[in-house]
Amino acid sequence: MTEQHLRVAEHWGPVWEGYFADPFVLRLPGGGYAAYGTHPGREDERVFEALLSPDLVEWRSAGAVLERLPESFGEDYWAPEVAFGGGAYWMYYSVGRGIDGHHLRVARAERPEGPFRDLGVDLTPGEVFAIDAHPFRDDDGRWYLFFARDVLDHERPGTHLAVAPLDASMTSFAGPVVAALAPNADWQLYERDRDIHGRRYDWHTLEGPAVLRRDGRYWLTYSGGAWTGPGYAVGVAVADHPLGPWEHVDQPPLLSTRDDLRGPGHNSLTIAPDGSDIIAFHSWDAEATRRMLHLGRLEYSEG
């Protein structure tokens, strides 16, 4: 098979002036789009701002959409993603304190703008740290949940990617968690000699997985490195099945810092009204004070 590559052929943004990190854009079944993102320091009864758009051009805020859990679960809510299935909307997210105690949870709503209510389920009770849940529906209707988790016993210890099949309830795994993708390059280094989990590591990070299927092949985009700075970037992997094996694509990062982007990453994938594939991601503003929503058009090439 001729090797295929992925590239961002066109980029525009920011498309929203507010802080909007870890953006997930959902194409709605009745038309239009909903975007969900992380916001720092919110103290409202709800978290995760939602934006609505008819066309990926004009956006308006629907406010915060997830009802908070009791304070004992933590105050840091990260990286919401939403799936539509069985006539309802299912939000997957993590909650914890800083980098401590994060586990994946699921909430349900009747409408894309919520309110989403947590269903009392910890999807990852056996993980040390789990974030960045990504629900993916295959062409046969089966759902999978990709996510990032900490792996210590590896030549590149750090945050790796994993996947598990979801059952029909959308609230539990239908099979075991499978290792999906591990760091393989120095650009994915988060921090040298990092003090974490009671030891010191040269810590590598893969996070923010997003998956699509084209021509029988599965493409996975992920973010690598430290989200705090300009080294953050987006890489690509491919597989013949959602459960893998996944292989890194030998190409430069799909998105990386350049004149108009600073530390671009944590992307999601959707489809434009004209049928083309769209990547949504955040990038820091010029003052490095806000992570903002950007969009790009994807192309596939033989090489």
| Rg, C-alpha atoms of the chain | 18
Query: What CATH number corresponds to the domain at position 66?
Result: 2.115.10.20
Q: What is the pLDDT of residue 61?
A: 97
Domain span at 292? 4-302
Long-range contacts formed by 50-56: CB under 8 A, 24+ apart: 50/112, 50/113, 50/114, 51/16, 51/20, 51/293, 52/112, 52/113, 55/273, 56/15, 56/25, 56/272, 56/273, 56/278, 56/295
Residue 216, classified by CB atoms within 10 Å of its CB into exposed (0-12), middle (13-18) or buried (19+), is exposed
Number of domains in the chain: 1
Q: What is the pLDDT of residue 1?
A: 44
* pLDDT band (50, 70, 90) for residue 193: very high
Q: What is the pLDDT of residue 90?
A: 98
Enter the pTM of the model: 0.97
Amino acid (one-letter) located at 281: F
pLDDT at 37 over 80: yes
Beta bridge partners of 166: 173
- Mean pLDDT, rounded, for 95-121: 96
Q: What is the pLDDT of residue 2?
A: 52
One DSSP character per residue, 158-219 reads EEEEEEEEB-TTSSSBSS--EEEE---SGGGEEEEEEEETTEEEEEEEEEEEEEEEETTEEE
